[in-house]
């Protein structure tokens, strides 16, 4: 069943053109198709989620979950299926991340969604640098305000670490609001 879902998603995104916002990521000629290979496999996840974003909040909710990351297209894509258990009002969340690599631009597009809301558009677009830090951006609105969203991936103590941050002032400052650490299942 999972392979069928991967095939269906790959077919859909392989044939549909999606307009992407300009990426603030510096272009690169570096082949990064293997950059997400560190994330493949089965994981336990621990999340810290800022309760109220862009409001000066310092209250975090802790959530735990599981994740399975499966490659496709000879490592030029992967599908992450996971869940997390959070305190109310979030509760139980079933999520998915689809990551696709463009050999033409040397950038990844990251699509996130939940079973409840579907895939969010546009994707975050970017790449890993030579130091192994991956920054991925998109432009959105949050509570009627234009914001830039940044996903940052890296290895921390040899394990995958992810942070999401918002900037409401054209990237002059960032508020981290979602942190996830992975440990092998």
Q: Which tokens in the block code for residue 64?
A: 């735990």
Q: Is the pLDDT of residue 61 over 50?
A: yes
Sequence-ordered list of residues with C-beta below 8 angstroms from that of 169, at least 6 positions apart, any chain: none
Q: Specify whether the CB–CB gap between 147 and 168 falls below 8 A.
A: yes
Strand partners, 184: 43
Band the pLDDT of 24: cuts 50, 70, 90: low
pLDDT, tens digit, for every residue of 78-121? 999 999 999 888 899 999 999 999 999 999 999 999 999 999 88
Q: Specify whether the CB–CB gap between 1 and 7 falls below 8 A.
A: no
The mean pLDDT value for 147-158 works out to: 97
Q: Where are the domains of the chain?
A: 2-184
Band the pLDDT of 11: cuts 50, 70, 90: very low
pLDDT at 104: 93
Q: Is the pLDDT of residue 13 over 70?
A: no
Q: Give residue for tokens 């996840």.
A: 45
Q: Is the pLDDT of residue 21 over 60?
A: no
Q: Is the pLDDT of residue 22 over 60?
A: no
Closest to 70 measured CA to CA, from 4, 120, 138 = 4
Closest to 109 measured CA to CA, from 17, 43, 29 = 17
Q: Is the pLDDT of residue 23 over 70?
A: no
The mean pLDDT value for 140-159 works out to: 96
What CATH number does domain 2-184 carry, 3.40.50.2300, 1.10.10.10, 2.40.128.20, 2.60.40.3120?
A: 2.40.128.20
Measured distance CA(115)–CA(161) in Å, rounded: 23
Output b/e per residue, 36-73; b: 16+ Cβ within 10 A.
bebbeeebebebebbeebeeeeeeeeebebebebbbbe
Q: Is the pLDDT of residue 6 over 60?
A: no
């Amino acid at each position: 069943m999972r392979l069928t879902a991967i095939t269906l998603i790959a077919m859909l995104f392989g044939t549909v053109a999606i307009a992407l916002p300009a990426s603030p990521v510096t272009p690169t000629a570096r082949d990064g198709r293997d950059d997400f290979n560190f994330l493949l496999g089965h994981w336990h996840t621990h999340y810290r989620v800022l309760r109220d974003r862009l409001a000066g909040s310092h209250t975090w909710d802790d959530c735990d979950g599981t994740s399975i990351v499966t490659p496709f297209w000879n490592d030029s894509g992967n599908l992450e299926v996971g869940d997390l258990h959070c305190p109310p009002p979030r509760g139980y969340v079933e999520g998915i991340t689809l990551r696709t690599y463009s050999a033409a631009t040397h950038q990844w597009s990251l699509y996130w969604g939940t079973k409840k809301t579907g895939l969010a558009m546009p994707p975050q677009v970017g790449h890993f640098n030579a130091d192994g830090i991956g920054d991925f951006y998109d432009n959105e609105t949050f509570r009627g305000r234009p914001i830039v969203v940044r996903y940052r991936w890296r290895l921390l103590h040899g394990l995958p670490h992810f942070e999401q941050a918002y900037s409401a002032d054209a990237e002059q400052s960032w508020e981290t609001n979602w942190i996830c650490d992975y440990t092998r299942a």
